[in-house]
Structure 1
Amino acid sequence: MDEVEVVVAHSERATLRVGDVFLKVDADQARIDVEVEAMSRAPVPTPEVLWREPPVLAIAALPGKTLGRLGGPSTRSATGSSTGSSAAWAAAGAAIRRLHHAPLPPWTGRAGRSSVALAAELDAECELLVTRGLLPADLVTRNRRVAQAALRPWTPAFTHGDLQIAHVFVEGHEVTGVIDWSEAGQGDALYDLATFTLGHENRLDDVLAGYGTDVDLDVIRAWWSLRSLLAVRWLIEHGFDPFAPGCEVEVLKSRM
């Protein structure tokens, strides 16, 4: 029997791998409902659902490998390099465009929060980051200003909602699958593009070449700041390190 690999685990959910099967355990069955429905609707490759027995969802492993992970050795920066080819990143951009142009699902996803609600959440989070001494006030203030550009009207698209590079698998120059759809739904397309390129800014041109349409780069930069500001405290409280090289705090510092 294959050994059990813990892919990710925290108080809300856990993902285990046993051989070619991934077992997702989620305390919120609504997230699993969204995941299964979104995968059935998405016009991009997704994992095969093997079985479902609440609170567990079993899915098949995908061929290929991811382009990396935030803060991982694939991060491309002034001092690093990235494993995927430009063509692979462009292929990911083309897959994201297909998703964004697909018929809308009937529910709102994580990328679809209203600007008013998001601004209120961001203001509260920025205050906590400073009062609890998690980040310097000037770093928070500067990035809060940058983040403002993301709080604007947008046309709803079919969004993934958590499109980290670790969730997109490629083989050669082709996308073989996209995983983790629990945050999918109607939302801001630029949120997905920003999430995918967070910490991998030098790959943005490759992704947009595949995406094939002009986007507002100031809004993508704004989402980099906004998403990082909202993530730092949660990551710390759940045992992750946003201060690691290439991760959220470094992204925030790059805006300075």
Structure 2
Amino acid sequence: MDEVEVVVAHSERATLRVGDVFLKVDADQARIDAEIEAMSRVPVPTPQVLWHQPPVLAITALPGTTLGRLGGPSTGSPAGWAAAGAAIRKLHDAPLPPWRGRAGRSVAALAAELDDECASLVTNGVLPADLVTRNRRVAEAALRPWTAAFTHGDLQIAHVFVDGDEVTGIIDWSEAGQGDPLYDLATFTLGHEEHLGDVIAGYGADIDIDVIHAWWSLRSLLAVRWLSEHGFDPFAPGCEVDVLRSLM
């Protein structure tokens, strides 16, 4: 009998693996519905939905391996990173879904959230004031008008699988929807700046690097407290706090 592996678990959701099947448990039915709908629309490979019995979604495992992880070395080749960039471009060129995703928050709402989070980080002594202030200035470049694309919304490096130099699939679509395409590119390259050029080469478009840097700062500032409160360590080497320090 296959063992049950806890892939990730926190107060919002949990993912278990049993053999070649992943079981995603999420009390937010709208989030699961969005994930299923997104996977049915995107022009890139995704896991197959086996069954859905709220609050559980069962999906297949993907072949291949990820390109690496945040805080760890990249295991992928430059060609693999470029292939991921091409897959992301294919997603962004797809017809827009009718709903907004995580990357589609309004500039005003995002600015207000960022200001509140920065104030909390300083007031509670989570991060030094100069580190927060500098990265808040860097993040300003992300707060601009953008042309909506079909975005993944949480395109961490661990969510893209490759076999050699071919993308075999992308997982975790619960935050997908209309959004800023540079948010996806920044999320995917967070902590792996050395491969940003490879990704952009595969993506095949002119990219404003200042906006990518801005999203690195913004995403990291917004994530530090949540990660700490949900059992993750943003202070680990190569993770969010190191990203913020690198942008000083």
Q: TM-score scaled by structure 2?
A: 0.99
Query: Secondary structure of the equivalent of 1:44?
Result: coil
Pairwise CA distance, 1:123: 0.1
The corresponding residue for 1:39 is 39
One-letter amino acid of the counterpart of residue 21, structure 1:
V
Pairwise CA distance, 1:27: 1.2
Query: Secondary structure of the equivalent of 1:23?
Result: strand
The corresponding residue for 1:208 is 200
Query: Secondary structure of the equivalent of 1:158?
Result: strand
CA distance in 2, matches of 1:245, 1:31: 31
Structure 1, unmatched stretches of 5+, are: 75-81
Query: Secondary structure of the equivalent of 1:192?
Result: helix
CA distance in 2, matches of 1:235, 1:115: 23
Which of 210, 234, 237 matches 2:226? 234
The corresponding residue for 2:165 is 173
The answer as to 2:162 corresponding to 1:143 is: no
C-alpha deviations, 1:190-236, integer Å up to 9, x for none? Answer: 00000000000110000001000001000000000000000000000
Query: Secondary structure of the equivalent of 1:213?
Result: coil
CA distance in 2, matches of 1:239, 1:91: 32
Runs of 4+ in 1 over 6 A off after TM superposition: none
The answer as to 2:197 corresponding to 1:189 is: no
CA distance in 2, matches of 1:245, 1:206: 23
Identity between Structure 1 and Structure 2 (%):
84
The corresponding residue for 2:155 is 163
The corresponding residue for 1:79 is none
Which of 125, 143, 153 matches 1:133? 125
CA distance in 1, matches of 2:27, 2:54: 9
CA distance in 1, matches of 2:45, 2:129: 43
Query: Secondary structure of the equivalent of 1:22?
Result: strand
The corresponding residue for 1:78 is none
* Aligned pairs for 1:87-126 within 5 A: 87-126=79-118
Pairwise CA distance, 1:251: 0.1
One-letter amino acid of the counterpart of residue 160, structure 2:
V
Q: TM-score scaled by structure 1?
A: 0.96
CA distance in 1, matches of 2:215, 2:64: 29
CA distance in 2, matches of 1:3, 1:87: 35
What is the alpha-carbon root mean square deviation over aligned residues? 0.4
Query: Secondary structure of the equivalent of 1:214?
Result: coil
Query: Secondary structure of the equivalent of 2:80?
Result: helix
CA distance in 1, matches of 2:53, 2:93: 32
CA distance in 2, matches of 1:27, 1:50: 19
The corresponding residue for 2:10 is 10
Query: Secondary structure of the equivalent of 1:186?
Result: strand
Pairwise CA distance, 1:240: 0.5
One-letter amino acid of the counterpart of residue 201, structure 1:
E
Pairwise CA distance, 1:68: 1.2
The corresponding residue for 1:51 is 51
The answer as to 2:240 corresponding to 1:248 is: yes
Structure 2, unmatched stretches of 5+, are: none
CA distance in 2, matches of 1:194, 1:5: 30
CA distance in 2, matches of 1:210, 1:14: 33
